[in-house]
Structure 1
């Protein structure tokens, strides 16, 4: 009887981890694709922030958009753990550089911590997917 309860709790825990991984990964992928699209369609608000507030040259903004979209889509590719690790590494580097850019640029205090908030979601997605892979589950 005790073994059945342990297995049942393990299955429930695995299911909760799987749902958490799906939700956080989907949210992170959506954020990256959404903001990448804004850079590609020349959204005036995003371009103004990137160019005037952060000082990025205009020619680099579409490239940032393309890399955001590729990263968001790449995160959703299943069963490619090494590629996924590289995507997460790219996200971490991008967010650290974004935080540095925000610290040195203008804007409100809240804007400066946007990359850290996004990093929390990326970290939650990464950890939950690592837990799934460690237990040989997949999303």
Structure 2
């Protein structure tokens, strides 16, 4: 197979588009979730009550999520981005584990699948990030 120069240049552009699609989807989901937790919506309060967490954890998690989502999309600060990726990964895997240990398998495991999906999006965004967003 012969690869032309135009084909080689097209790959990084596609990777960049994939990076931004995945990252913006992740950031939007995380920031909306964080805002819901900061507002202490009834569903969020019920959720933390069900897994025996104190309600004030919603404020802590909400702040972390909003700040992490902002860090992912803002330019510069590659070290901060690494911390944000790690934090989001720990938040999402911790959420899945917390629901699993509390036997909270609402709607065929939705409370397990959704945070693990966000963790996978987080890994994909990290793997696709351009060189100027790496340490």
Please tell me the TM-score bracket, short chain as reference: 0.7 to 0.9
Counterparts of residues 1-139 of structure 1 (less than 5 Å): 5=4, 7-50=5-48, 52-105=49-102, 106-108=104-106, 109-129=109-129, 132-133=130-131
Q: 1:137 offset after TM fit, Å?
A: 8.4
Contact 1:53 1:107 in 2 (8 A): no
Report the TM-score, using the length of structure 2 for normalisation: 0.87
Please say if residues 78 and 133 of structure 2, whose CA atoms lie closer than 8 Å, have aligned partners that are also in contact: no
- Per-residue deviation, residues 8-65 of structure 1 (Å, max 9, x unmatched): 1121101100100111110111111100100111211122112x22221012211111
What CA deviation, in whole Å up to 9, does each residue of 1:101-125 have, x standing for no partner? 0111223223222221111111111
The DSSP-based 3-state class of the residue aligned with 2:56 is helix
Maintained 8 Å contact 2:28/2:69: yes
| RCO higher in structure (CA 8 A, sep ≥6) | 1
In structure 2, do the counterparts of structure 1 residues 124 and 65 end up closer, same or farther at CA, with 3 Å as the change threshold?
same
**Does the 8 Å CA contact 1:29/1:72 hold for their aligned counterparts?**
yes
Q: Please give the TM-score of this superposition, normalised by the length of structure 1.
A: 0.85
Unaligned runs of 5+ in 2: none
Gaps of 5+ in 1: none
